[in-house]
Chain A
Amino acid sequence: MPTLNGYNSIENHLFVRIEVDYYKSSSSSSPISTVLRFSDRRTPFVINGETYTGLGNLVSITSSSSELRTSSGELSISISGIPNSSIYEIVNSRIKGCPVTIYRGIFNPVTGELLGVENNPMSRYKGFVNNYSLQENYDIDQRLASNTIVLICNSSIDVLQNKVTGRTTSPTSQKKFYPSDISMDRVTNLENATFNFGAS
């Protein structure tokens, strides 16, 4: 298998895959499960039988850290050029919480073909859409508006740590789950309490 050392110049592109379980394309349509696939290439490209729409410079992805062990990390994906007519889809689809996978593909800049090096394209990031924001860009001269969506993604670690619950040995915590259970009611009074065990 050739390595990157055999190439004088390379070009890399990012491919984003977002699995949306609840996607509504219009107010009258029923929600569907779909997968959004796009890349910062200018032309569409097929990876593992799935076509990634080329959005070129309309996509911007912040850097992510690469560590030996799995760690928490935040990453933002900006997509520009969204027409006003598509805002409904974003607002009414359940994008928050959707799994996100980002791949990096290394290409031959001359032929535009994926290089035949090992693990190409490689997985760069796996996480979830934690939140998103919409920003309107209004062109006064053209009387046209487009929008930018910024998807804020968190790794699996972040999501699990955010959602971790648990009980403590306090009456409040116990009653949160079992309102009529008074088993922990005396813990507060027992803190720093002393007993004359054995006193006659």
Chain B
Amino acid sequence: MSFIDDIADFASSTKSFITGNGIGSTLARTALAGLALSQIAKSINKDNEKKDTPTDYSIRNQSAPNTNNSIPVVYGTAILGGKVTDAVLTNSNQTMWFCLTICEKTGTLMSTGANSQISFEAVYWNQLKVNFQSDGITVASFSDEDGNVVTDPDGLIKIYPFSGNSTSPINFSGYSSGNGYYAYNLFPDWTTSHTMSDLVFALVRVDYNKTKNVTELGDIQFKVKNTIVQPGDCLYDYMTNTRYGAGIAPGEINQ
């Protein structure tokens, strides 16, 4: 019995038949399609916006330090720049360290229950692919898609990738050796309280060399790959995550 029955009785119309039953199942797909289309529409509209519209802090390009910068979520594979969240000048002004926060660490795969993993597939510096020395962190050269190689930055730039927090160093894909350091042991002035919790990020060390044209932080793009790829896994993670998602309780989602 429910209040609907009472209404029916009140109106002397009909007998009610409201009974408990299973819940319909298309919520997830409806929401996915809707959300995806909404995002596409937003993306299209973004291109149409005038230049004097407010700054978009959710862009994928590398961004200068700003407390309004959004930390993106990556499913599948994406190429995106980091948000500069720390920078320190050391070594008598000859070395700069940057912390580039790239994206959120995501949750578990609904399909398997495994923790998602985000790997670094490639790095680009001013649109040129970064090639590392055998240590997997020191830049050896830049190369373009035609095979032209620039060796000027050899030994002057180091990039340390992390996937999850300050104590989760990883290697770039394709390199057997690489980052074996905790972030707070690398970055000047950092302590164990610099945990970079649930973040995918990279520390970049740049040694100044005017002759080699290494005088600033280049436009760095990271190609990152998340093991959350399947639409169902993506949607479930996004819908349930309380940090970057919709925060819907898993029990409220129809399987």
Contact = CB atoms under 8 A, between A and B. Distances in A.
Interface of A: 17, 19, 21, 23, 25, 32-38, 42-44, 50-51, 53-56, 58, 69-72, 79-83, 85-86, 89-90, 97, 99, 101, 126, 146, 155-157, 159-161, 163-174, 177-178, 180-184, 186-188, 190-191, 193, 195-200
Contacts of B11: 55-56, 58, 81
Contacts of B2: 23, 25, 34, 36, 89
A65 B2 CA distance: 30
A200 B199 CA distance: 35
B30 to A, nearest CB: 5
Contacts, number: 224
Nearest to A25: B1
A58 B94 CA distance: 78
A156 B34 contact: yes
Nearest to A85: B6
Interface size class of chain B, counting residues whose CB lies under 8 Å from the partner chain: 35 or more
Contacts of A99: 23-24, 27
Given A156-B27, A169-B71, A70 B93 contact: no
Given A34-B20, A181-B193, A69 B37 contact: yes
B31 interface: yes
Nearest to A35: B21
A71 B51 CA distance: 26
B104 interface: yes
A199 B168 CA distance: 34
A42 B8 CA distance: 10
A69 B41 contact: yes
